[in-house]
Structure 1
Amino acid sequence: MDDIVFVTADSVRADYVDEMEFVSSFDVETGMTAAQYTRPSLASIHASSYESVLTGRVNEPTLAETLSAAGYTCLGCSPNPNTDATFGFAEGFDRYDSFIEPGNRGSGLRQYLANFDLLRRIYYKFYPPHAKSENRPRDREVVDQAIEWFNAADGPRFLWVHLMETHRPYGAGDDAVSEQLDQKAFFKPEQLTDAEEAEIERKYCDSLERADENVRHLLDGIDSDDPKFVFTADHGEGFGDEGYYFHQPQLRRVDDCLVQVPVVFDGIDAEGPCSLLDLTPTIAASAGAEVADRWDGNDLLETETDYTITIAPWHEQATVLWQDFERRLVSRDADVTFEHRGDKTEVEDEVPEELQGQLRDLGYVE
């Protein structure tokens, strides 16, 4: 059985993938996310599940559980509190690290207050997304840990790495967009000058170049001659295209800039536009593992995807996008219920106290 390397990078738009020279050297397809921000999107990828979008949790069976049952050693490195084991991301992994610092707590009122524009402005004034960027490990450190784990593990091996520096503010220190410019773009995008818009875009493109080098470094560093390689992003990013900057999950937007992301399959004979829910069944099938009946995505080795659904949840409502790659149908801010075998799931978003501070400091306002 072949080793499998699965890399996700935060906030990479499909129409910016050319900034990633190494990644774009592969055949790049367009993937449609199942959600508009990190936790529900990545949860739905690993579980191939619309229910995971609504709950923000990885349902079982996960990709790692399935590959583990097929004989793989499963390893995961993701420096983001949205992917903490609390939300089910560690299930099936033999070693897993979300690099969460214990004891960093936030207010239980944060989710409620984030619904109000004035209070959200005050919140970001004191807790910009830069607050935790300096303390979070750099992506190169995460990649080096992943390489160390991979090379020490028994094969066949499955490795998932999530890269964070492509997330606003696009790095740390001098690499990042300044706090002042970040605040202006978030709250008053109409007041940005041409030079400021260009600076934000340049910082973003620089972060994509660094992510690209980290992907190359990862594949060069592992002791596997010809692993299967899959790359995608959890969601895209806004740069004033639709009147806003960044992905701002509270807006419940499903614009192309947020839901269209690059997808690479190398060593797996899959192609064509797809839903990111298709990744787990396709990876599992390519490894000879079981394709679970519960999964909502398609095994692209057997089935072509002719439509996708994106759900943008926030608190008790969600915007829903159906599209067949030519037509789009959008229902905004709807009450959404998912039914499966008699069980009903509605939009919910419970975050443990010990993770709220971590999410706050990274700029999430969920």
Structure 2
Amino acid sequence: MEDIVFVTADSVRYDYMDAMEYLSSFDVQEGMAAAHYTRPSLASIHSSTFKSVLTGRVENPTLAEQLSAAGYTCLGLSPNPNTDATFGFGDGFDRYDSFLDPGNRGSGLRQYLARFNTLRKIYYKFYPPHAKSEDRPRDREVVEQAIEWFNEAESPRFLWIHLMETHRPYGAGDDAVSKELDQKAFFKPNKLTDSEKDEIEGKYRDSLARADENVQHLLENIDSDPALVFTADHGEGFDDEGYYFHQPQLRRVDDCLVKVPVIFDGLPVDEGPLSLLDLAPTITASAGGEVPDSWLGNNLLETDTDYTITVAPWHDQATVLWQDFEHRLVSHDADVIFESAGSRTDVSEDEDVPEDLKEQMRDLGYVK
């Protein structure tokens, strides 16, 4: 059986792939995310179900569980609090690391301030996404750990790695957008000068180029010639629709946020529109694993995707986008219920998530 490397990168727009020279040398397809920000999107990728979109949790059976049952050693690395094992992301992996430091997750004051919409501006002014980005490992460090794990593991191997530096503020230190410019773009995008807009997009493109180099470094240093799958959890806004960044509280489903690149190298997938829900069935089938009946995505080795659905949840409501690539139907800020096998799931809040983990997510901009 063939080794599989699955790379996801945060906030990569389909129409910015020209900044990723190495990955652009592969056939790049257009994929539609099932959600508009990291946790529900990645959870739905690993579970191939809208239940994960609404709950923000990886539902069983998972991609790693199915590949493990097929005989794969499964390795996962993702330096993002949204992908902590608390949300099921570690299920099925033989080794999993989300790189969280429980002793450095923030204060009760910040948790309190983040609860109120009217205080969001104050919160971001004093605690922007830069607050903890320098406490997390750089993507190259994560890639080096992935190489070590992969080369030590028994074949066949499945590696999932999520690259984080393409997320706002697009790196750390001098690589990142400054705190002042970040605040201006977030709260007063109409006040940005042309040079400031260029600076933000330039920092973003630089982060994509670094991610591209990291993927190349990964593939050149593992002891295998694996099948490669690459995609992003969602895109990013650059004043396309009047806002910057992805701001999940807006519940937007614009193309800049939900249209992402997808690469299948070593998997015989025909070119065509697809949903990111299709990734788990396609990867599992290519590995000879069993595709669960509960998964909603298509096995693209056998079936084309005729339409996609994107759900943008934020607390108790969601925006829903249905499209068949000629027509779009959007319902804004709706009450959404997913029914399957006699069970009902609606958009839920994380009442049982530890407060220190919530704080990590708030540091990235995921505040109520």
Normalising by structure 2, what TM-score? 0.97
Structure 2 counterpart SS, 1:21? coil
Which residue of structure 2 lines up, in the alignment, with residue 256 of structure 1? 255
Distance 1:108 1:287 in 2: 48
CA contact (8 A) 2:36 2:252 kept: yes
- Mapped contact 1:115–1:250 kept (Cα < 8 A): no
TM-score (norm 1): 0.97
Q: Is the 8 A contact 1:106 1:355 kept in 2?
A: no
- What letter corresponds to residue 262 of structure 1 in structure 2? P
SS at match of 1:243: coil
> How many residues end up aligned between the 2 structures?
364
What CA distance in whole angstroms lies between the structure 2 residues aligned with 1:112 and 1:333? 24
Could you tell me which runs of 5 or more consecutive residues in structure 1 were left unpaired when the two chains were aligned.
none
Identity of aligned residues (%): 75
C-alpha displacement of 1:77: 0.4
Residue 140, structure 1, aligned to residue 134, structure 2: no
Equivalences for residues 1-366 of structure 1 within 5 A: 1-103=1-103, 104-107=105-108, 110=111, 113-114=114-115, 116=117, 118-224=118-224, 226-270=225-269, 271-350=271-350, 351-366=353-368
Deviates more, 1:242-251 or 1:105-114: 105-114
Q: Hey, what's the Cα distance between the residues in 2 that align with 1:164 and 1:140?
A: 10
Distance 1:160 1:349 in 2: 27
Distance 2:113 2:187 in 1: 19
Q: Which runs of 5+ in 2 are unaligned?
A: none
Report if the CA contact (8 A) 1:105-1:353 is conserved: no
**Whole-angstrom distance in 1 between the partners of 2:47 and 2:228:** 19
**Shift, 1:60, TM fit:** 0.4
Structure 2: distance between partners of 1:10 and 1:349? 22
Whether the aligned pair in 2 keeps the contact of 1:73 and 1:158 (CA below 8 Å) is: yes
Query: Which shifted more, 163-172 or 123-132?
Result: 123-132
Spell out, residue by residue over 1:196-247, the C-alpha distance to the aligned partner (whole angstroms, 9 max, x if none). Answer: 00000000000000000000000001000x2110000000000000000000
Q: 1:106 to 1:281 in 2, by over 3 A?
A: farther
Query: For residue 146 of structure 1, what is the amino acid of its counterpart?
Result: A
Could you list the structure 1 runs, at least 4 aligned residues long, displaced by more than 4 angstroms after superposition.
Answer: 105-115
Could you tell me how far 1:113 is from its partner in structure 2? 4.7
Contact 2:113 2:123 in 1 (8 A): no
1:49 CA displacement = 0.8
Partner secondary structure for residue 333 of structure 1: strand
Q: Which amino acid aligns with 1:156?
A: P
Post-superposition shift, 1:354? 2.4
Tell me the alpha carbon deviations over residues 248-301 of structure 1, each in whole angstroms, 9 at most, x when there is no partner: 000000000000000000000113110000000000000000011000100001
- 1:364 shift after superposition: 2.2
Tell whether the 8 Å contact from 2:150 to 2:159 is kept in structure 1 after alignment.
Answer: yes
Q: Tell me if the contact between 1:107 and 1:356 (Cα under 8 Å) persists in the aligned partners.
A: no
Deviation at 1:361, TM superposition (A): 2.1
* Structure 1 CA distance for aligned equivalents of residues 273 and 93 of structure 2: 29
Q: Tell me how far 1:170 sits from its aligned partner.
A: 0.2
Structure 1 contact 139–165 (Cα < 8 Å) conserved? yes
Aligned CA-pair RMSD? 1.3
Q: Contact (CA 8 Å) 1:111, 1:365: kept in 2 or not?
A: no
Separation of aligned partners in 1, 2:196 and 2:106? 34
**What letter matches 2:319 in structure 1?**
T
> What's the offset of the Cα at 1:106?
4.9
Equivalent position SS for 1:5: strand
> Residue 171 of structure 2 aligns to a residue in which SS?
coil
CA contact (8 A) 2:247 2:365 kept: no
Partner amino acid, structure 2, of 1:163 = L
Contact residue 36 and residue 312 of structure 1 kept, 8 A: yes
Are 1:127 and 1:363, in contact at CA under 8 Å, matched by a contact in 2?
A: no
